[in-house]
Amino acid sequence: MYGALWRLMPGPLWLRVILIVLFFAAVLAVLVLFVFPWLTTFVNVNDVTVGT
C-alpha cells in the first residue's frame, strides 16, 4: 500500500516526503480529534477490573 501511495505522489523526492508527512499528520489529527472521542462513548476507560 505504501509503495502505491508513493508512486501516486507528484513531484521530486523532497516534495513527496513533505506530502507524506502532511498526510499522516492529517490522519493522526482526525483520529485524535474525532475518532478517539467517539470511541470513548463505547469504552469506559475508568471501569478497571483487577483479578485478585
**Within its chain, how far is the Cα of 9 from the centroid?**
19
pLDDT for position 52: 64
Asked whether residue 36 carries a pLDDT value surpassing 70, the answer given is yes
Give tens-digit pLDDT for 17-35: 999 899 999 999 999 999 9
Q: Three-state SS across 6-24?
A: HHHCCCCHHHHHHHHHHHH
Q: Choose among 4, 20, 23, 42: nearest CA to 31.
A: 23
Higher pLDDT, 16 or 52: 16
Domain boundaries, given as residue ranges, for the chain? 2-39
What's the whole-model pTM score?
0.69
